[in-house]
Amino acid sequence: MTPPAFSLPGLGSLPERQVWVIPPQRLAGARHAVIFLDGEFYLDRVQGPRASAQVQASSSVAPFWQIYVSHRSLAARWLECPCVSEFSQLLAERLWPAVLHHHPEAVSALHHTLIGLSFTGLSAVYSAGEYPSRWQAVVAQSGSFWWQEAWLPHVWETRFGKGRTRFGVEVGDKETSFPVAHRPECVQTMSQIEGVERMAAALRKTGHEVRSSRFAGGHDFRAWADTLPAWLEWAQSPPRVAL
């Protein structure tokens, strides 16, 4: 069953989009919110609600809000997700006030995790670079860090540098294909594995806490669904470095 949604107003060239909200299983102690990019994928094919219910049933994980942000369409996803400043601003400045407008009971959720996959994994890390104090944790499942000849790993140190965000990155051991022409203007010239490794190295070099892992599988929803519960647990674990 699709959860209730509201329309998030657009920003600049970005039109409005749907946002689906699933409250925590209990409000008491719900001080964490998880924002899922690619909301349509996480609601359905990655089974975010099931994974969230599973980990919230554990005594070691506090209840949390689930916020699913629409990518609007696959065509829009290609334009809005890869390192677009307006999209980062929408997430950092406009999303949470809109959530509180519709769900004022979420006001105690002060710890926010941003999660994305593939292109939106790239977008999630970029957004944390643009707004280094906004996100406490970011998870990129098979993030497309190969984009534009690994532009984001290359510029991370000089453009963004240090911050307090914790990062979790993963990639499948079968994500080895290249070159891949995704679109005429978008050619992948290195493997997903190499792109993720470059991103993890750039994050570590600038002092971020990074958890990286490699799962058995390829670039597919079933693999991300299998690893998602562990990432949701990690997002609430104590940081290894002082914040």
Give tens-digit pLDDT for 111-133: 999 999 999 999 999 999 999 99
Q: Which one-letter amino acid corresponds to residue 25?
A: Q
Cα–Cα distance between 96 and 21 in angstroms, integer? 11
Q: Is the pLDDT confidence value at 243 over 70?
A: no
pLDDT of residue 88: 97
Classify residue 159: in a domain, yes or no.
Answer: yes
Classify residue 243: in a domain, yes or no.
Answer: no
Cα–Cα distance between 243 and 240 in angstroms, integer? 9
Note down the domain range covering 80.
5-236
Q: Contact at 8 Å (CB) between 131 and 160?
A: no
Across all residues in the chain, what is the average pLDDT? 93
Cα–Cα distance between 206 and 204 in angstroms, integer? 5
User: Domains in the chain: how many in total?
Assistant: 1
User: Over the chain, what HEC string results?
Assistant: CCCCEEEECCECCECCEEEEEECCCCCCCCCEEEEECCHHHHHCCCCHHHHHHHHHCCCCCCCEEEEEECCCCHHHHHHHCCCCHHHHHHHHHHHHHHHHHHCHHHHHCCEEEEEEECHHHHHHHHHHHHCCCCCCEEEEECCCCCHHHHHHHHHHHHHHCCCCCEEEEEEECCCCCCCEEEECCEEECCCHHHHHHHHHHHHHHCCCCEEEEEECCCCCHHHHHHHHHHHHHHHHCCCCCCC
Cis peptide before 239 (omega within 30 of 0): no
Classify residue 48: in a domain, yes or no.
Answer: yes
pLDDT tens, position by position, 48-85: 999 999 999 987 789 999 999 999 998 898 888 889 99
The residue among 29, 98, 106, 28 whose CA lies nearest residue 66 is: 106
Classify residue 241: in a domain, yes or no.
Answer: no
pLDDT of residue 148: 94
Classify residue 69: in a domain, yes or no.
Answer: yes
pLDDT tens, position by position, 148-172: 999 999 999 999 988 889 999 999 9
Q: Which two tokens stand for residue 202?
A: 């750039």
The mean pLDDT of 179-197, rounded to a whole number, is 88
Classify residue 87: in a domain, yes or no.
Answer: yes
Cα–Cα distance between 243 and 137 in angstroms, integer? 12
CATH no. for residue 149?
A: 3.40.50.1820
